[in-house]
Structure 1
Amino acid sequence: MTDTAGTTDEPGHGGALAVPASAVWLKGQLLEIASALHPDRRPVVVREWTDPVRLHDPAPVGHRFLFLVCVSGGDPPSSAGFDDVLNAFTVAGWNVHRRSSGHPGESWATARREEFEVKVYEGDGPGILSLTGWTPVVYTERQLGQPLFTLTTATGVLCDDCHGWGVCLLCEGRAYSGGSGGYGRCSCAGNNAGPGKCVECAGRGFLTSDAVSWKRKQYGLPAADRSDAWPQPPAEDGHDSNTSAFADVAQRPCVCGEFRCFWCNILTPADDHLLSRFTGICQGCAAQRSYAFTLPPRE
């Protein structure tokens, strides 16, 4: 499953990027597991994209390949649920770990296999059942270690200073400057971040909430809403299923231009129809994003 063999050109990965064997294998795994759960229903690849990985220069030194697959939309309710998905990953040789959910009725889990990871999510209602999978970073030239995070995998906004590595890029985490001789201590050694750690994010790989607020001001954006109350947008029409609404939301960018966002979904009956709500934190500016859709009633 390492990238020592040939590559395949596919659209949707930054144009001219060649898709490595690792990405082809991961996408196949996600579709195979999802298809086995619903033999009569084809899983939907909602989006596929790449996360660039940078060091000092703006040009990427590598990319991580990602896939978002919708197993079911909750309309009608699926016969195969969250536990069935986890069992399928276990049978396929993945290590599965349940995660605590921040909202009642939702279920989260991660599945790992070597350096591959999949985030399994089921919404409330039950809502969307989705798989978000990512490959290890594939480097174009010299091989480097794996960063703590990339744009999609960060639990917040990726640090602009270390690009998600979590280490000071001046000394590359060694706390000493001056080349191979190791003479002279790097400025990061005397900072609260600790020797060799990134000063801006204190080694976490993503920005603090205060740093995010400053970043939003630089882009001319309003301060991020840190309250527990999510925006309540008016319900939109135009979708005949929750899966269709999910595919729509996954393509919409935030006001900052970033589309990356782990979406939560709640599907509830409302009068003579279903109401689907999607919420998530933008991974580019930490804004609270929210959409609502009116769906046909279940038969």
Structure 2
Amino acid sequence: MDEVFSEHPGTPESAVWLKGELLRIASALYPDRRPVVAREWTDPVRLRDPAPVGHRFLFLCCVGGDDRPSSPGFDDVLRAFTTEGWTAHRRSPGPPGESWATARREDFEVRVYEGSGPGLLTFTGWTPVVYTGRQLGRPWFTLSTVPGVLCDDCHGWGVCLLCEGRPYSGGSGGYGRCVCAGNNAGPGKCIECGGSGALTAKATSWVRKRYGLPDPDGTESFPQVPAERGYDSATSALIAVSERPCACGEFRCLWRNAITDADDHTLARFAGTCQGCAAPRAYAFELPRH
């Protein structure tokens, strides 16, 4: 379920600080243009009950690109974070023309991504989990940060929620053995995901079949899909894409982009993997050439 928030008196200081920090770094990189918050939302954090025990606050910021080579270079982008006290790590090379990195500061994290061509530069940042009651540890993942699909049994914690990660629970004299250990997932690990916090490939395949979605074939990085019109920039196209749900109902997706020239227009393509069912998603937009 999409849980959108906007700044109000109940917004935690951590979310206000992170949003301001991302916009400040983006503005320093591109003094002549205003960064755009494409979307802001929360990830619910659950234990055994359906009601959340806390939330993580997230932002998707579109920083630069749109029909001109992205400048400054990607190394300069990471230097802008380190100058402000963040620790930045460039990820191993991905598809040609695309760049990835992560930046961390205490329990805050940002995914930095630049698409191919004069691709869009985006920051996806998230806060530590803000708990509404008793303070708990940190789950391995939440809905937007998992590299795949969040385990629906442990909700990303990676531990058995019956014993809360302890290998033995209950029984006379304290020698009861939790089912997680008896099923060889433990001791203390989630039986469903084996402690990873994310569903296995086999489990996610069943999720896709439930919604009539195909398994990824991995044949093309940016699938050829019909181009849509009516958008004046790649930024406005990204905002539209970030609002669209998958057929499974989940909007969260790890979006990539590629921008190319085609005849008398610019073509902006977006591709990603749904974080609700791991189905491939793709869109294309025909933009006016400026």
- Give the TM-score taking structure 2 as reference length: 0.94
Amino acid at match of 1:134: W
Following superposition, the deviation at residue 147 of structure 1 comes to: 0.3
224-233 or 259-268, which moves further after superposition?
A: 224-233
Amino acid at match of 1:94: W
1:268 paired with 2:260, answer yes
1:129-168 correspondence runs (5 A): 129-168=121-160
Q: Does 1:224 align with 2:210?
A: no
Distance 1:136 1:272 in 2: 46
Please give the root-mean-square deviation of Cα atoms over the aligned residues, in Å: 2.0
Q: Which runs of 4+ in 1 moved over 4 A?
A: 14-17
Q: In the alignment, which of 32, 38, 51 is matched to residue 40 of structure 1?
A: 32
Structure 1 gaps of 5+ residues are 1-10
Q: Quote the residue 1:18 is aligned against.
A: 10
1:75 Cα offset (Å)? 1.7
Contact conserved, 1:159 with 1:206, CA < 8 A, in 2? yes
Deviates more, 1:52-61 or 1:229-238: 229-238
Letter in 2 for 1:227: G
Alpha-carbon spacing, 1:150–1:91, altered in 2? closer, same or farther (3 Å): same
Give the Cα separation in 2 of the matches to 1:180 and 1:140. 34
1:244-277 alpha-carbon deviations (Å, 9 max, x no partner): 1111111111111111011000111111211111
Q: Is the 8 A contact 2:68 2:118 kept in 1?
A: no
1:111 equivalent to 2:116? Answer: no
Cα distance 1:203–1:261, how it changes in 2: closer, same or farther (>3 A)? same
The residue that corresponds to 1:52 in the other structure is: 44
Separation (CA, whole Å) in 1 of partners of 2:262 and 2:30? 27
Amino acid of the residue matched to residue 201 of structure 2? S
Shift of 1:18: 2.5
Using a 3 Å threshold, how does the CA distance of structure 1 residues 237 and 177 change in structure 2: closer, same or farther? same
How far, CA to CA, are the matches of 1:257 and 1:23 in structure 2?
Answer: 25
CA distance in 2, matches of 1:235, 1:17: 42
Partner of 2:186: 194
Q: 1:115 to 1:211 in 2, by over 3 A?
A: same
Segment of structure 1 superposing worse, 83-92 or 231-240: 231-240
Identity among equivalent pairs (%): 70
Offset, 1:83 = 1.7
SS in 1 for 2:75: helix
Tell me: CA distance 1:16–1:74, structure 2 relative to 1, closer, same or farther (3 Å).
closer
Whether the 8 Å CA contact 1:53–1:150 is kept in 2: the answer is yes
Amino acid at match of 1:197: K
